[in-house]
Chain A
């Protein structure tokens, strides 16, 4: 198992290299001279040269990339062009606001999806199954930000139960968490159902039934445990989607999280901030995937590499 975990960690290295290349290129793919974009057309040549040297743009591309990665490893993401302060400080300050929505949404999603998926699979083709799968289909088709807007309108504006914008208390959290958690639960419930159906069709479940165990025992003891193992991987897979949704919902609910920071920085062309927030968001998702992979190996003794 240790071997499997080490292998998974080693496989992350090329992914991380790919990620740093893409993030490094954000600044260089931008049309036009990045320095012009930053200093504006009225800058004096001295200012222009200073910024150019600050960004290291006078050096060859490969050197620039090496410098970028070198700084990154020391936790230096550069300075914000607009605010003139370290990007690292800015994103560390904003990240918890994004993370709390993401974590609670993930929990809500699994609390809804696991029982729903299992009940649907156990009572296959029953009314319950159809109801659950209809909910799942509607949920899969619902854009998270539209559900967010609906919740905002009805529960914050009309009924006044929750604050319209801002962050800090649990009441600020409820609506964005529901918007992400419910739409995500729809996807997850479908996968839980099919994972459970697959296990129910296995030989060992048939054996358990054949030796006369009652149905409850077959489901709880034999099927459920095995069906839950692939769901751990699902936990990792859904991270990306949840964090992406959380970025968009920060615009809907006016939460000053890292998504808001990134989108604002895209419009003000504050590239170091865009790079830093993108890096942190994607790296946290990749880390989530890695943790899920490791948990999977711990939970399933069959995995030996």
Chain B
């Protein structure tokens, strides 16, 4: 006779969090994306140690030098070291990407939660505004706000946050609409909990997975728009080493010094690719239903 207890003892408790990471990083794409993101983060944190020169150290006799042992990515039109500028520039890309998306996530999640939880007239108003915001082209709208507020990095972050919250609002509203009907919400209500407690402690945590996935896919978009607007001169102002503005100044010298534009361009493409790969894998692991 088989001892049943023995069978049960064979089953080990599953640590879900480590299982999640194992599943995520068993994906080759996620590993590559994660490494790229990590490298750029390290560049941003340790920029003064990694960069051989100051990002704004001019050296006019050495201007527009091709890549060499002293300047591995060459120099720009003021003789500044491109590699050092790119290393410092990672701070701008990450700052804009995370701040802008962070703010738009907060705005969107708050509005979406209110609309989805309360429904009725509140939902009608918020959804109306969200649908209007959703139908505007993001890049052009960001240009419009920067045109109004004046070109600067801070204004660019504000503009990006203003134009990109509607995706979060739509997502969170949908989540709340279905979650508020669940038994655990009813249970919390019958215990006499306040609305804010139910929203923050009970419903919101259940909507975290899709919010995180959307965030990870919005950050690369924000980084591309920052680079594009800085390329137009509407973002970071000189001598700030935004990758987009380095490319913009390189545009004038592209014939004799293509490296000025090419290296920052490759960096933008790489970091965006890294975030996209990581975000896609995160979506597949956390919430396969979101797969497009």
A244 with B138: in contact, given A14-B132, A140-B276, A143-B272 (CB under 8 Å)?
Answer: yes
CB of A289 closer than 8 Å to a CB of B: yes
Residues of A close to B276: CB separation below 8 A: 137, 140-141
Q: Are A286 and B272 interface neighbours, CB within 8 A? A: no
CB of A72 closer than 8 Å to a CB of B: no
Residues of A close to B234: CB separation below 8 A: 263, 266
Closest beta carbon of chain A to B43's beta carbon, Å: 18
Q: At the interface with chain A, which of B82-90, B142-150, B194-202?
A: B142-150
A157 to B231, CA, bound (A): 20
Residue in A11, A23, A31, A149 whose Cβ sees the most chain B Cβ within 10 Å: A149
Residue in B140, B150, B247, B258 whose Cβ sees the most chain A Cβ within 10 Å: B140
Contact residues of B between 105 and 138, Cβ < 8 Å to A: 128, 131-133, 135-138
A191 with B258: in contact, given A14-B132, A30-B150, A137-B273 (CB under 8 Å)?
Answer: no
Closest beta carbon of chain A to B64's beta carbon, Å: 15
Residues of A close to B291: CB separation below 8 A: 194
Query: Which of A150, A243, A251 is within 8 Å of B137, CB to CB?
Result: A243
Residues of B close to A19: CB separation below 8 A: 136
Residues of A close to B148: CB separation below 8 A: 25-30
Q: At the interface with chain A, which of B50-58, B169-177, B260-268?
A: B260-268
CB of A182 closer than 8 Å to a CB of B: no
CB of B240 closer than 8 Å to a CB of A: no
CB of B141 closer than 8 Å to a CB of A: yes
Query: Which of B135, B149, B265 is within 8 Å of A15, CB to CB?
Result: B135
Chain B residue at smallest Cβ distance from A157? B255
A157 to B257, CA, bound (A): 12
CB of A241 closer than 8 Å to a CB of B: yes
A205 to B144, CA, bound (A): 47
A262 to B265, CA, bound (A): 24
CB of B204 closer than 8 Å to a CB of A: no
A266 with B137: in contact, given A137-B276, A145-B228 (CB under 8 Å)?
Answer: no
The total of chain B residues at the interface (CB under 8 A) is 45
Q: At the interface with chain B, which of A60-68, A170-178, A274-282, A295-303?
A: A274-282
Q: Are B258 and A153 interface neighbours, CB within 8 A? A: yes
Residues of B close to A251: CB separation below 8 A: 231-232, 251
Residue in B128, B258, B270, B277 whose Cβ sees the most chain A Cβ within 10 Å: B258
Q: Are B147 and A278 interface neighbours, CB within 8 A? A: yes
A26 to B276, CA, bound (A): 33
Chain B residue at smallest Cβ distance from A134? B29
Q: Are B265 and A150 interface neighbours, CB within 8 A? A: yes
Q: Are A141 and B151 interface neighbours, CB within 8 A? A: no
Contact residues of B between 221 and 276, Cβ < 8 Å to A: 224, 227-228, 231-234, 247, 251, 254-255, 258, 261-262, 265, 268-270, 272-273, 276
Chain B residue at smallest Cβ distance from A250? B232
Query: Which of A31, A149, A191 is within 8 Å of B292, CB to CB?
Result: A191
Chain A residue at smallest Cβ distance from B273? A141
- Can you name 27 A-B pairs with beta carbons within 8 Å? A14-B128, A15-B132, A15-B135, A23-B144, A29-B145, A29-B148, A29-B149, A30-B150, A31-B150, A137-B273, A140-B276, A141-B272, A143-B228, A143-B272, A152-B254, A153-B258, A241-B139, A245-B139, A248-B139, A252-B251, A263-B232, A266-B146, A266-B147, A266-B234, A278-B140, A278-B143, A282-B141
Chain A residues near B (Cβ < 8 Å): 11, 14-15, 18-19, 22-23, 25-31, 137-138, 140-146, 149-150, 152-153, 157, 190-191, 194, 239-241, 243-245, 247-248, 251-252, 262-263, 266-267, 274, 278, 281-282, 285-286, 289
Chain B residues near A (Cβ < 8 Å): 128, 131-133, 135-141, 143-151, 220, 224, 227-228, 231-234, 247, 251, 254-255, 258, 261-262, 265, 268-270, 272-273, 276-277, 291-292
